[in-house]
Amino acid sequence: MSSGLICAYQIPRDLAYLFISVCVINCGDCLLILILCFAGNGNNTTRTIIIVIASVVGVLILIIISIYIFMRRKKTPEKVETKDEIIGAESLRIDFDSVLAATNNFSDANKLGHGGFGAVYKGQLPNGQEVAVKRMYRKSQQGDIEFKNEVLLLAKLQHHNLIRFLGFCLEGHEKILISEFVPNRSLDHFIFDRTKRAQLDWKTRYKIIEGIARGLLYLHEDSKLRIIHRDLKPSNILLDADMIPKISGFGMARPLGRDETQGSTVRIVGTYGYMAPEYAMQGHFSVKSDVFSFGVLLLEIISGQKNNSFCHGENNEFMLNFAWKNWREGTALNLIDPTLSDFSRNEIMRCIHIALLCVQENVAGRPTMAAVIFMLNSFSTILPVPSQPAFCMQSDIETDMSSSLATNSWVSNNSNIELLPTSLNEVSITELSPR
């Protein structure tokens, strides 16, 4: 198939004529572009001018056609892919009336909890399947485009240790996500409750640790996009009937290209205590910032206590301080949850060591999740010595006569103290600008 373009320029002087013919021939995977120039009668000077003009015009036409062809070929696959993605997402759309019926009009009896973006309800689809329905707050700053992007992202993620996305609803002000329902709620309901955490023996906790690690590895290396979760914490780890962990809470997740290793933002989101210092203070995030969060989470699973209110005896201090100090003094067993009775000392000490590697202040020194999984399963491998973590000190600031707000300050060996607000109830902070 070919197409031609003919341009004729008349040069009145000496009755000279210039004809430029451009012929574009489609040869399958390549295009053949022919530029033919014809000059009429004229003297030598005129003929020279005509040849120069013809050459310049011909080159310009060639450049324009080349750019057009390049842009057309570049855009076509993207449009097809976007269209396919939209069609795929639309197939997951559920109308609002069906959501109302599934949740009994969002009754309080069906409410499972709430977070920084919205409330979560238990629902039942017409086919009898139980689901979790997350209804976004209307005051949420997430727009329709951002919501659709989250839907497209969730629809692509398929892993045993990630919560399974089932559908969405977008009608008027309503933005709703529907996912699989897990009966044992979230990890924080167990490990931070003195009675319930006794149900989690070390074998179960170790299985949970491994499952979280494998889910993160999938996000970082095995999914179509490199996903940075940015809000890994116990309340975003759901447990199914077999206590298998499912990572959830992808409202703050950010995709990176396969060749990208880090990103940056001026809008800090997440939960203090789990944020890596380079992200909380400078807005830099990478797979290593998720690794930091995993390290904090690992210490909480081992100790059964929250990182920002760790208590040993009558002393309260930040968990990273306590873990680092006791590891250096050879008394790391002080970190272990006293409700644990039957456990492998070598396994638990190795997990503490791995956690300290994950929370190092030096970003480059933190392991990847692939390395973490290898260290969890290879007891013959000698672990590197961790360097000091970024300490997070607690200070109380009175806000009125009856209450006070706890604030965190990241402290390193060579930096000044920076006061940053924290979330007392561990609800994710959805916007804060870095310094």
Annotation: binding site for ATP: 134
What is the distance between the alpha carbons of residues 246 and 158, in angstroms, rounded to a whole number? 11
Q: Which residues, listed in sequence order, are joined to residue 316 by a DSSP beta bridge?
A: 311
Angle subtended by helix axes 319-329 and 287-303, to nearest 10: 80
User: How far is 258 from 224, CA to CA, in rounded Å?
Assistant: 8
- CA distances to 5, 14, 301 from 306, rounded to whole Å, are 73, 93, 9
Strands, E, within 153-267: which ranges? 165-171, 174-180, 226-228, 237-239, 245-247, 254-256, 262-264
Give the Cα separation of 423 and 429 in Å (integer): 7
| CB contact at 8 A, 376 and 209 | yes
Instruction: Give the integer Cα–Cα distance in Å for 83 and 317.
Output: 53
Binding residues, as ranges, are: 134
- Rounded to the nearest 10 degrees, what angle do helices 287-303 and 345-358 cross at? 140
Distance CA 234, CA 376 (A): 20
- Among the listed residues 409, 408, 406, 410, the one whose alpha carbon sits nearest the alpha carbon of residue 390: 410
Q: Which residues pair with 111 in a beta bridge?
A: 121
Decide: 190 and 331 in contact? Cβ < 8 Å: no
- Is 193 an annotated catalytic residue? no
Give the containing element (helix H, strand E) for 6.
Answer: strand 2-11
Q: Which of 201, 222, 231, 342 is catalytic?
A: 231
Cα(325)–Cα(313) distance, integer angstroms: 16
Q: Which residues are catalytic?
A: 231
